[in-house]
Amino acid sequence: MQSRHAKSTGTRLDPVARRAPAKRTAANTASILKALTQEATAVGLDSIAASSIAKRAGLTTGAIYNRYENNDEMLVALWEQVVAQKFGDHIRETIHYLTAQEKIKLDPNLIARLERPSSTLALAAEFVVVAQRNEVVGEVVLPQITQWLYDAGLNKHGSPMECAGVALGASMVLGSTLRSFITTTNPNLGLVLRGLRQAYQTAQPTTTAPPVPKPRPVEANTGNAVRDALINATAEVMAKTGFANATISRIARKSKLTSGTIYNVYDDKEQLMNDAVVELLKATQYQNLVAKQDASQVQRPNFGLTDSFQFGLIPERQTWLRFRQECIIATRHHRSTHRQMRKVVNDLDRQMIDAFPKIHPDIINLLSAGEQAIGYGFSSLVAYSDQLPRCDFNAIMVQIANQNIG
């Protein structure tokens, strides 16, 4: 009777019944993670929406919130389950190639990742930036990347040269991806990495520290006081919040102007952002160009290439550097911002070629691409290690100048 009762009520089928929902749960979780990855790739980490993710996954928003408390927790899952391992492996492989003492071939797959970064690496680069202003994401991403760098040798036990090699490798990984947001691809960055390895292997430690540059503050100088105030306020707000969360009201408060005043000058927030991008990027690029001209005039052996690292460590420039990071990741999803960023980068390349007519344009383009990639990456790493001021970048940059300029 007991057996018949169990059969008639289905109690013996309960274990099977429990396994079926478990399979569905696992399948739904996988669908949500796939949809989350697609959504973040399409709109950016700051703009993901549970409703859009649910639609992509063919589920309800309830299914999303049963697994993740809020958007930040979704981002943590995306980092941990999709992004972190591939990004970490790429960083370790690049650092190993650059710094290994034994003979080593440059893997074509590594070149491909530098010259045409994948969508996963694009998300990783965005995470590096967002983690510096999103407390929840930062609690996971900041210590993990810091530990990767420490384990690779960017720590107090490494020599200044060894620390510089690790920092350059990590900067190349991150910066090549950030640069690709502007340029789409990075032709010849494989050649840049080969050159960096050769320079690292042959560099002699710096015995006399190079002069520390004293660049002018990065601020708007358009000749229009209202426009300057709005551009400077935009940079400050966007550095703290990112593009999506930099509201007109907040910019107005920071500039001590009214929202109406902003709309008298600009049609919308994106136009204001783009004006800030152009004016502030032009200011810093001019300073970098002048640094190289000065270095060339006095025949400094590093051709001014060391200045970019020194610029990146100046505390007063950190707001500007964070703003530049935010502008770069904004180019992924804002066409007009992308056009402006690309124009400014192209203009710099032309200015460099015009400023140094005795150097072959191909060499200038190679130096420029490498400096942009490493510079974007380096400025993003400042939050991830306190060892960067110890790094002997100068020794390696002297070798880079010798290899390319003679």
CATH code of the domain covering residue 238:
1.10.357.10
Residue that terminates a domain, selected from 48, 68, 88 = 68
Same domain assignment for residues 131 and 271: no
What CA–CA distances, in Å, run from 124 to 139, 167, 194? 15, 17, 24
DSSP string, 122-141: HHHHHHHHHTTT-HHHHHHH
| Cα 64 from Cα 51, distance rounded (Å) | 9
Q: Is 159 helix (H, G, I), strand (E, B) or coil?
A: coil
Same domain assignment for residues 62 and 94: no
* pLDDT score recorded for residue 179: 95
Same domain assignment for residues 236 and 90: no
Domain count, the chain: 3
377, two tokens: 């990456």
| Cα 259 from Cα 264, distance rounded (Å) | 9
| Cα 181 from Cα 332, distance rounded (Å) | 6
Taking residue 303's Cβ as centre, other Cβ atoms within 10 Å add up to 22
pLDDT along the chain (406 residues), means of 10: 42 47 83 97 96 96 94 97 98 97 94 97 97 97 98 97 98 96 94 96 90 76 92 94 92 94 91 88 78 81 87 88 92 88 86 87 89 93 96 95 83
Asked if residue 379 belongs to a domain, the reply is yes
Asked if residue 56 belongs to a domain, the reply is yes
Single out the residue of 386, 354, 387, 349 nearest to residue 371, CA to CA.
Answer: 349
> Dihedrals φ, ψ of 100, to 5°?
-60, 135
Residue that terminates a domain, selected from 202, 233, 253 = 202
Same domain assignment for residues 39 and 104: no
Same domain assignment for residues 272 and 394: yes
| Cα 405 from Cα 14, distance rounded (Å) | 76
Taking residue 17's Cβ as centre, other Cβ atoms within 10 Å add up to 10
Same domain assignment for residues 41 and 115: no
Is 174 in contact with 128 (CB distance < 8 Å)? yes
> pLDDT, tens digit, for every residue of 356-396?
888 899 998 888 899 999 999 999 999 999 999 999 999 99
> pLDDT, tens digit, for every residue of 323-342?
999 999 999 988 888 988 89
Same domain assignment for residues 120 and 242: no
Asked if residue 211 belongs to a domain, the reply is no
Single out the residue of 154, 158, 186, 183 nearest to residue 169, CA to CA.
Answer: 154
Same domain assignment for residues 128 and 106: yes
Asked if residue 220 belongs to a domain, the reply is no
* pLDDT score recorded for residue 21: 55
| Cα 355 from Cα 223, distance rounded (Å) | 26
| Cα 183 from Cα 346, distance rounded (Å) | 9
93 by Cβ neighbours in 10 Å (0-12 / 13-18 / 19+) ranks as middle
368, two tokens: 């420029």
* pLDDT score recorded for residue 280: 84
Single out the residue of 312, 323, 175 nearest to residue 241, CA to CA.
Answer: 323
Asked if residue 219 belongs to a domain, the reply is no
Asked if residue 337 belongs to a domain, the reply is yes
Angle in degrees, CA 353, 355, 357, rounded to 5:
65
Residue that terminates a domain, selected from 18, 48, 68 = 68
What pTM value is reported for the model? 0.90
Q: CA-CA-CA-CA torsion for 142, 143, 148, 154, nearest 10 degrees?
A: 90
Single out the residue of 244, 184, 250 nearest to residue 48, CA to CA.
Answer: 244
> Domain range holding 80?
75-202
Same domain assignment for residues 37 and 101: no
209, two tokens: 């520290």
272, two tokens: 């204001």
Asked if residue 319 belongs to a domain, the reply is yes
Same domain assignment for residues 29 and 97: no
Same domain assignment for residues 123 and 147: yes
Q: Is 150 helix (H, G, I), strand (E, B) or coil?
A: helix
Alpha helix positions (H), 184-317: 189-202, 225-241, 248-255, 259-265, 269-297, 307-312
Is 28 in contact with 72 (CB distance < 8 Å)? no
Same domain assignment for residues 108 and 257: no
253, two tokens: 């408060």
Asked if residue 215 belongs to a domain, the reply is no
| Cα 367 from Cα 327, distance rounded (Å) | 23
